[in-house]
């Protein structure tokens, strides 16, 4: 079975996000970037399938500029067999990415597209679903457990208030939720080898994908800062404030 | 479990200015002399090059000029030339502009971010064939049968808090090297071990340190004066406490504001963090930040001992370079140029030895090269400035520094010694309590909101990287005698006394650590040992 895993380079999850003063977006210059954590979970799952003999070839793909090769190096070090970078300017939109992934999935004739459930930068949670739609394949999103048997995938999905288990026929698109697994640490010797391996390059034109954005971003702003709380002396004061200042009772 | 081994010619620990200059010079020599097979590997505990770098910084480009003469054409991120130095004496009310001491004149220097410079140096190094591995921390020194250093090992990952392997455990890797260069910066954990193992500091005074706490602000264009450099002495410190503040304008509406306090301070009630916050409220400082927003926060200890405290650099199998060896010029408040130059000198000596393929672990001659270089001339000339402040306080120190610079011209026939910082704390009963003002949320901030801006992170599920030699000392000694000073000197809120009065307990919030090393230095009984956590953790500074 051939598996395609998408990895997006995003602002590192430990870094404080800063909105540009002019509201045009989030500051990314001189900011630490790393692989989207949900994509790492998807990748780990695929590496485990490889180790279990279920996956015969694991391809990692990213869409981005030259700097995004970095996430592919880590993917190779974690266990991907091949790495492909599809050229794009910064932050392409979910529909464009889905079109690229769908085109690549067809070209490579993969049996499974494994993605993170969402990227932590735009939190769109659309790429997996759109990829499935464009391919006409079944989808299993928010996977917290995944088993593959006889050409079928059994996916335990995290849903509001519980878990739902679905069975899909391959080929399919599956997106990883937090509890699917805990990604391994990259080993130094593997990283050393990964640095010397080739990264395949593709372009949207060659894949026949129109990269024009479909959504216009109007403004990006910081959340309203939370006002500091106050300490009340007793229940009476609390009730007084709730009634007269907050006006909630 | 057996550890994998990787063999390299030279292993360098730390991708700061010293380590990267060593690496660059080594590969330059290898290419110039047709010895391209020389393998140079740099390990860096930060998640990327520059992430753990913190400096003022007004940088003297002397070493960079020697290493990469065309750095300007190669778009090095040093684009703000320093101009109009201000040297201020702050009083609680008002400020007095003093003549700028010669050593603090910055004509020809550049204001910038050392972290960004290091990222650029990392790119230069990689283009020359240096292999840099950020996210991998050297945690252990390896020794051969003869007792010489034969390399370093990265730490295990995926250990549980009790030290046993967890489900994701991966053993560390041994980097076996012909030469090991320790470029960890001030108070490096492996450097400390090697200095002790070989008694490299046998003829030296104790090292003395400072703690620098820094913020980067984005300010309004109307108050931004690129290249403007302000140094202060005086308030909020008393005249017995060595330290001072700085304000540097650089880049795109960036202002670095920071405060350095000598870690030989004696009052256990002193909080370097609160002093730094208070410093910003002075009218002479506040006006630089008015209307701006704070972007980042960080802290790092620095070496202040100069030549008196400088250990021997070379040990069997390798060498120290940069601030790991204590080469900062404290009178000029600069160490990047000396760190880089020491790395280049080490590279020259190590390359020569490697090229002759002697296979010997004997000395390559780094110490000799250092004492013959301008680094040593520079450091020797200012050697009495810092100890003069320790002896005579601010006024005597300033007077002596002026005399030393202008009358003796650094050639005084005497040398003042240094004392160990951890021995300087007074008992809390003898010390004046200090009341700090509450943060205003505009200019001054609570500690934890600052730590948040360092982007620091550590996996909670691992052994604590801040270890106590004796777990009872914090409550038995530090609390009654010094009022638990670790809860104040730590600029990241790592140490917290919790529990009730009858049963107090020290809680170590290791996840907050910004890797400044102050606890390793200042703990009065030297009970705290700082070790590296898992690679890739700690602060993530972007333009510090």
User: pLDDT tens digit string along B149-192?
Assistant: 999 999 999 999 999 999 999 999 999 999 999 999 999 999 99
- Substitution target in B46, B170, B439 with the highest count of A β-carbons within 10 Å is B170
- The minimal CB distance from A30 to the residues B116, B441, B452 is found for B116
Question: How many CB atoms sit inside 10 A of residue A230's CB?
Answer: 9
Neighboring chain B residues of A188 at a CB cutoff of 8 Å = 4, 6, 133, 136, 154, 173
Tell me what the mean pLDDT of segment B87-93 comes to. 94
Per the structure block, which two tokens stand in for B231? 């140094």
- The minimal CB distance from A12 to the residues B173, B453, B540 is found for B540
Q: Predicted ipTM? A: 0.90
Query: Would the pLDDT of A101 be above 80?
Result: yes
Query: Would the pLDDT of B365 be above 90?
Result: yes
Question: How many CB atoms sit inside 10 A of residue B501's CB?
Answer: 5
Averaged pLDDT score across all residues of chain A: 94
The CATH number assigned to the domain holding A224 equals: 3.40.50.620
CB contact under 8 A, A32 and B540: yes
How far apart CA B134 and CA B47 sit, in angstroms, is 5
Q: Percentage of chain B surpassing pLDDT 70? A: 99
pLDDT for B361 equals 61
How far apart CA A129 and CA A147 sit, in angstroms, is 20
Whether residue A30 lies within 8 A of chain B, CB to CB, comes out as: yes
Domain that holds residue A196: 2-246
pLDDT band at B409 (very low <50, low <70, confident <90, very high): confident
Query: Would the pLDDT of B351 be above 80?
Result: yes
CB contact under 8 A, A192 and B218: no
Query: Would the pLDDT of B359 be above 80?
Result: no
pLDDT for A54 equals 95
How far apart CA B114 and CA A113 sit, in angstroms, is 42
Whether residue A218 lies within 8 A of chain B, CB to CB, comes out as: no
Question: Contacts for A11-17 with beta carbons within 8 Å, 24 or more apart?
Answer: A11/A120, A11/A121, A12/B47, A12/B455, A12/B540, A13/A37, A13/A120, A14/B455, A14/B456, A14/B457, A14/B540, A15/B455, A15/B540, A15/B542, A16/B452, A16/B453, A16/B455
Per the structure block, which two tokens stand in for A14? 């430990």
Per-residue pLDDT of A139-182, as tens digits, reads 999 999 999 999 999 999 999 989 999 999 999 999 999 999 99
DSSP for residue A83 = E
Tell me what the mean pLDDT of segment A8-16 comes to. 95
Query: Would the pLDDT of B212 be above 90?
Result: yes
Per-residue pLDDT of B248-284, as tens digits, reads 999 999 999 999 999 999 999 999 999 999 999 999 9
How far apart CA B64 and CA B336 sit, in angstroms, is 9
Tell me what the mean pLDDT of segment B227-247 comes to. 95
Give yes or no for a contact between A80 and A58, defined as CB atoms under 8 angstroms apart: yes
Neighboring chain B residues of A70 at a CB cutoff of 8 Å = none
Enzyme catalytic residues of B:
55, 300, 336, 490, 513, 516, 519
Separation in Å, CA B185 to CA A26, A84, A109, B336, B523: 33, 38, 51, 11, 19
Domain count, chain A: 1
pLDDT band at B358 (very low <50, low <70, confident <90, very high): low
Beta bridge partners of A153: A148, A168
Lowest mean pLDDT among B6-10, B39-43, B197-201, B360-364: B360-364
CB contact under 8 A, A182 and B168: yes
Tell me what the mean pLDDT of segment A32-45 comes to. 97
Averaged pLDDT score across all residues of chain B: 95
Query: Would the pLDDT of B443 be above 90?
Result: yes
Query: Would the pLDDT of A47 be above 70?
Result: yes
CA angle B21–B43–B36, rounded 5-degree value? 60
Could you state, in order of their start, the residue ranges of all structural domains in chain B? 4-68+117-202+311-381
Give yes or no for a contact between A31 and A3, defined as CB atoms under 8 angstroms apart: no
Q: Which is it for strands A172-176 and A139-149: parallel, antiparallel or unpaired?
A: parallel
Neighboring chain B residues of A18 at a CB cutoff of 8 Å = 295
Query: Would the pLDDT of B1 be above 80?
Result: no
Q: Percentage of chain A surpassing pLDDT 70? A: 100
- The minimal CB distance from A15 to the residues B154, B168, B455 is found for B455
pLDDT for B86 equals 95
Query: Would the pLDDT of B357 be above 80?
Result: no
CB contact under 8 A, A31 and B6: no
pLDDT band at B126 (very low <50, low <70, confident <90, very high): very high
Architecture in CATH for domain B4-68+117-202+311-381: 3-Layer(bba) Sandwich (3.50)
Whether residue A187 lies within 8 A of chain B, CB to CB, comes out as: yes
Q: Percentage of chain B surpassing pLDDT 90? A: 91
How far apart CA B238 and CA B244 sit, in angstroms, is 11
Interface of B with A (CB under 8 A): 4, 6, 47-48, 51, 116, 131, 133, 135-136, 154, 157-158, 167-168, 170, 173, 218, 295, 441, 452-453, 455-457, 534, 540, 542-543
pLDDT for B360 equals 64
């Amino acid at each position: 079975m051939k598996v395609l895993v998408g990895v997006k380079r995003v602002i590192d999850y430990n870094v404080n996000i800063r909105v540009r003063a002019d509201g045009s977006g989030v500051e990314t210059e001189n900011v630490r970037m790393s692989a989207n954590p949900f994509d790492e979970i998807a990748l780990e799952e695929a590496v485990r399938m490889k180790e279990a003999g279920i996956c015969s070839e694991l391809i990692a793909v990213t869409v981005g500029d030259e700097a995004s090769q970095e996430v592919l190096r880590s993917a190779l070090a974690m266990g991907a067999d091949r790495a492909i970078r599809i050229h794009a300017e910064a932050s392409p939109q979910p529909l464009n990415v889905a079109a690229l992934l769908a085109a690549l999935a067809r070209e490579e004739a993969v049996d499974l597209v494994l993605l993170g459930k969402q990227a932590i930068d735009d939190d769109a949670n659309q790429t997996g679903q759109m990829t499935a739609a464009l391919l006409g394949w079944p989808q299993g999103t928010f996977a917290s457990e995944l088993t593959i048997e006889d050409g079928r995938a059994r996916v335990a999905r995290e849903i509001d208030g519980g878990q739902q288990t679905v069975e899909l026929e391959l080929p399919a698109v599956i997106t990883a939720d937090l509890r699917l697994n805990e990604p391994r640490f990259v080993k130094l010797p593997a990283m050393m080898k990964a640095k010397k391996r080739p990264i395949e390059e593709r372009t949207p034109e060659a894949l026949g994908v129109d990269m024009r954005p479909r959504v216009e971003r109007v403004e990006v702003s910081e959340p309203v800062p939370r006002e500091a709380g106050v300490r009340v002396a007793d229940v009476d004061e609390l009730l007084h404030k709730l009634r007269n200042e907050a006006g909630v009772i | 479990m057996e550890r994998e081994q990787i063999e390299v010619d030279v292993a360098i620990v730390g991708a700061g200015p010293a380590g990267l200059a060593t690496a660059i010079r080594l590969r330059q020599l290898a290419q110039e002399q047709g010895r391209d097979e020389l393998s140079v590997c740099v390990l860096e505990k930060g998640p990327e090059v520059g992430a753990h770098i913190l400096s003022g910084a007004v940088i003297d480009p002397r070493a960079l000029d020697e290493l990469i003469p065309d750095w300007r054409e190669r778009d090095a991120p040093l684009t703000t030339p320093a101009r109009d130095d201000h040297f201020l004496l702050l009083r609680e009310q008002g400020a007095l502009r003093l003549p700028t001491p010669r050593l603090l004149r910055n004509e020809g220097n550049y204001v910038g971010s050392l972290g960004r410079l290091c990222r650029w140096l990392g790119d230069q190094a990689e283009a020359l064939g240096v292999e840099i591995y950020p996210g991998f921390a050297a945690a252990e020194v390896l020794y051969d049968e003869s007792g010489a250093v034969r390399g370093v090992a990265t730490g295990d990952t995926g250990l549980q808090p009790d030290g046993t392997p967890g489900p994701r455990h991966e053993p560390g890797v041994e980097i076996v090297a012909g030469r090991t260069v320790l470029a960890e910066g001030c108070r490096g954990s492996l450097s400390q071990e090697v200095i002790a193992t070989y008694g490299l500091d046998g003829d030296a005074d104790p090292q003395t340190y400072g703690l620098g706490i820094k913020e980067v602000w984005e300010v309004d264009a109307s108050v931004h004066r690129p290249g403007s450099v302000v140094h202060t002495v005086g308030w909020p410190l008393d005249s017995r406490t060595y330290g001072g503040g700085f304000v540097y304008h650089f880049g795109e509406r960036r202002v670095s504001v920071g405060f350095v306090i000598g870690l030989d301070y004696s009052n256990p009630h002193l909080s370097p963090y609160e002093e730094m916050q208070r410093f910003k409220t002075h009218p002479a400082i506040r006006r630089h930040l008015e209307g701006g927003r704070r972007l980042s926060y960080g802290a790092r200890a620095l070496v202040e001992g100069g030549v008196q405290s400088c250990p021997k650099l070379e040990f069997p199998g390798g060498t120290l370079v940069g601030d790991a060896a204590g080469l900062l010029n404290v009178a000029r408040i600069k160490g990047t140029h000396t760190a880089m130059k020491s790395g280049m000198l080490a590279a020259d000596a190590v390359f020569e030895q490697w090229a002759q393929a002697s296979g010997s672990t004997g000395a390559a001659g780094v110490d000799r090269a250092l004492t013959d270089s301008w680094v040593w001339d520079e450091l020797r000339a200012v050697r009495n400035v810092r100890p003069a402040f320790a002896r005579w306080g601010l006024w005597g120190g300033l007077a002596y520094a002026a005399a030393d610079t202008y009358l003796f011209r650094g050639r005084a026939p005497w040398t003042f010694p240094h004392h160990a910082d951890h021995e300087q704390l007074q008992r809390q009963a003898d010390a004046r309590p200090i009341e700090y003002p509450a943060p205003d949320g505009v200019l001054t901030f609570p500690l934890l909101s600052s730590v948040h801006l360092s982007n620091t992170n550590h996996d909670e599920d691992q052994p604590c990287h801040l270890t106590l030699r004796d777990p009872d000392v914090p409550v038995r000694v530090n609390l009654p005698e010094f009022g638990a000073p670790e809860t104040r000197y730590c600029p990241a809120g790592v140490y917290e006394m919790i529990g009730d009065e009858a049963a107090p307990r020290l809680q170590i919030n290791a996840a907050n650590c910004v890797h400044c090393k102050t606890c390793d230095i200042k703990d009065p009984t030297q009970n705290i040992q700082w070790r590296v956590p898992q690679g890739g953790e700690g602060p993530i500074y972007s333009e510090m």
